[in-house]
Structure 1
Amino acid sequence: MTTPAPEYQLLARLEAAFDGLVEASETLVNTWRHEGGQAWAFGREQADAAWLHEALLDVWYQDGQDGRSTRSHVGLVAATPAAMEAARRVNDTKQAFADLLARIREEEPSLLPEIKAVLPFRHPELHTHLRGSGLARLHLKQCWRAIPLAPAPVARVRFAWYSSGRSIKRLSVREAEQKLLALDTDAPHVRIQLRQLAGIPDGEPLAQVQTQAPLMRANLFFREPLEDGHRRRAMNVALPLFVPADDGRLPDHNQPPDHPPQTRTRARRRDERLEQEPLLPSLRVYRYRR
């Protein structure tokens, strides 16, 4: 009997991890249904077990979806101790899946297309149901993103859109030059930016800025101080937020606006470290204020 090649041993382990993720998610839905906890779903009239199942097992690309983006299912779930434990087990399976996937990306990246094609058929009832809705390929990031869990009983939750987020990556002048050279260097606007960059000292750090898509943030106010002494915590919530509730009742919560604000809602910091205008617009690269 021949031993499977190492890369297919990894694939088999990932398939088993995906099975465990799906099974743990379905166990969570069934546990919550049996326990009879309350729930609220943003933008939905009804938050029931069918909604929770849809939210937790939404692991597919939609036609035309940007691979960098994920769909959100904002909600609030009152979880008894049994349901909270089931939710923790789901997150454990998600972490195991993410760890294996990271290893495959590093050691056997050529397996990724096969993974996206094969894993959906591990659970035909999911794939067959969704295929007619323009859903076919597995969205790996939507598989491993964790369920947000409140660490202690909550008195109230306030949801709010956060639309001022951005990620900032430091670049050297040489790295910025290489990125510009990878563009069409015959284009006038690229040549202008190369000349601008040539006037920057080699040792000066630059910043590449990526504006992040609007997201929902939950501000949790706890009944008792946490171990660190704080009574409040903010969490980004792309999946339903589970809060401990022995009686299965939801804490007080608000109804956020249907859509994020169109303009920046937070005042620009006076001590913002980046210049207001980009040095290299094609790369969203800025100089630091001096």
Structure 2
Amino acid sequence: MSTKPLSSYQLTAEIEQAFDGVVEATARFCDAVDTRKPRQWTLCDTSAPAQWLRQALEDMWYEDGQDGRATRNYIGVVLADDTTLELAMTLNERKDHFGTLVGQLRKQSASAVAELKVHLPRRHPAVEAPLEQRGLARLHLKQTWRRLPIAEAPLARLHLSWYTSGRSIKRLTVEQAQEKLAAFNNEAAHIRIQWQKLAALPSDEILAQVQHQAPVMRGNLFFKEPLADGHTRRALNMALPLIIPADHTDRLPLINTPPATPPTHRTRARREDTRIEDDPYIPSLRLYRYRSQ
């Protein structure tokens, strides 16, 4: 027996409850850190790490002029006992649930999602009032559901470095490119030029749509003991503080100190065998041709 999809109204109601769950789980985790006062480290210079952690996890809001695709990084480490670790995992579960529901609603109604960004903070007066004073009235969904990175086991060492060369590549046919270009103002001269360039391509040519990704802090985790699968290290992105299980020593791992802000240029040499041309063929769509073999 199939389950009938929820209506936009029903989904919105569930999202409201899921957002409440995220807010409550965030508060419980931060309260536990305040009470237990575990060892912490932050990339920024702060005299109040517990207060900084709460600020990092409660930062779910747009700032004036902020690109909706961009999120703010909070790089740090928290050494967690079993109770605190369990609360961190529960918080991630609540974030996952909230993100899944918003994704379902976006497929049904983009306008309803836009309304949520303004409506949800109003469910928590203690949250809304200071936000309005700072001009932060809209919810930043990506910052709301992004997960806390959690190490699988105690660490001996943590090496941090900015990764600035990330990009995602989607393959498009010429026909798909034409469909996307049709959404632009076809009376504009630069769009007409791009139509002509597309028309000059073979119909079976594949183009690469490239999206350059924002710089991210990459953490290389070196475990004190091999994991069950035999691995001794992991790598993960760290937009939020890394939660590390504490062991009997209650010591932070060795941590290097990278620059507080990402470099303005690529930190890795361009691969000599890259298959994508240097300059975009259709700039409005970030489309590149593949180099001929």
Structure 2 residues without counterparts, runs of 5 or longer? 1-5
How far has the Cα of 1:174 moved from its partner?
1.0
**Alignment coverage as a number of residue pairs:** 286
In 2, the alpha carbon distance for the partners of 1:286 and 1:264 equals 19
How far has the Cα of 1:186 moved from its partner?
3.6
What percentage of aligned pairs have identical amino acids?
51
Q: Could you say which residue in structure 2 is the equivalent of 1:156?
A: 157
Q: Structure 1 counterpart of 2:204, which letter?
A: G
**1:104-253 map, 5 Å:** 104-246=105-247, 247-253=249-255
CA deviation vs aligned residue, 1:231-285 (integer Å, no higher than 9, x gap):
1211111111111113543211011112222221211112212122222223221
In 2, the alpha carbon distance for the partners of 1:248 and 1:23 equals 28
In 2, the alpha carbon distance for the partners of 1:196 and 1:113 equals 36
The alignment partner of 1:62 has SS state of coil
Match of 1:289 among 266, 288, 291: 291
CA deviation vs aligned residue, 1:138-197 (integer Å, no higher than 9, x gap):
111111111111111111111111111111111110121233333333444333332222
In 2, the alpha carbon distance for the partners of 1:262 and 1:119 equals 36
Q: Could you say which residue in structure 1 is the equivalent of 2:3?
A: none
The alignment partner of 1:229 has SS state of coil
In 1, the alpha carbon distance for the partners of 2:198 and 2:11 equals 45
Contact 2:185 2:191 (8 Å CA) reproduced:
yes
Q: Structure 2 counterpart of 1:67, which letter?
A: G
In 1, the alpha carbon distance for the partners of 2:9 and 2:188 equals 46
Q: Could you say which residue in structure 2 is the equivalent of 1:268?
A: 270
Q: Which moved more, 1:201-210 or 1:47-56?
A: 47-56
The alignment partner of 2:208 has SS state of strand
How far has the Cα of 1:108 moved from its partner?
4.1
Structure 1 residues without counterparts, runs of 5 or longer? none
How far has the Cα of 1:137 moved from its partner?
0.8
In 2, the alpha carbon distance for the partners of 1:35 and 1:229 equals 32
Distance 1:102 1:194, change over 3 A: same
In 1, the alpha carbon distance for the partners of 2:38 and 2:26 equals 16
Distance 1:48 1:261, change over 3 A: closer
In 2, the alpha carbon distance for the partners of 1:206 and 1:52 equals 44
**1:25-44 map, 5 Å:** 25-44=26-45
Contact 2:61 2:136 (8 Å CA) reproduced:
yes
**1:70-85 map, 5 Å:** 70-85=71-86
In 2, the alpha carbon distance for the partners of 1:109 and 1:262 equals 34
In 2, the alpha carbon distance for the partners of 1:230 and 1:272 equals 30
Q: Structure 1 counterpart of 2:146, which letter?
A: R
Distance 1:164 1:220, change over 3 A: same
2:56 matched to 1:55? yes
In 2, the alpha carbon distance for the partners of 1:66 and 1:100 equals 23
Q: Could you say which residue in structure 2 is the equivalent of 1:279?
A: 281
Q: Which moved more, 1:155-164 or 1:121-130?
A: 121-130
Q: Could you say which residue in structure 2 is the equivalent of 1:99?
A: 100
In 2, the alpha carbon distance for the partners of 1:185 and 1:6 equals 37
Q: Which moved more, 1:221-230 or 1:139-148?
A: 221-230
How far has the Cα of 1:47 moved from its partner?
4.6
The alignment partner of 1:138 has SS state of coil
Query: Over the residues paired in the alignment, what is the CA RMSD in angstroms?
Result: 1.8
Distance 1:25 1:96, change over 3 A: same
**Structure-1-length-normalised TM-score:** 0.92
In 1, the alpha carbon distance for the partners of 2:250 and 2:184 equals 56
In 1, the alpha carbon distance for the partners of 2:134 and 2:221 equals 35
The alignment partner of 2:62 has SS state of strand
In 1, the alpha carbon distance for the partners of 2:117 and 2:139 equals 5
In 2, the alpha carbon distance for the partners of 1:248 and 1:133 equals 38
Contact 1:79 1:248 (8 Å CA) reproduced:
no
Distance 1:7 1:260, change over 3 A: closer
Q: Which moved more, 1:278-287 or 1:135-144?
A: 278-287
The alignment partner of 1:78 has SS state of strand
Contact 1:41 1:47 (8 Å CA) reproduced:
no
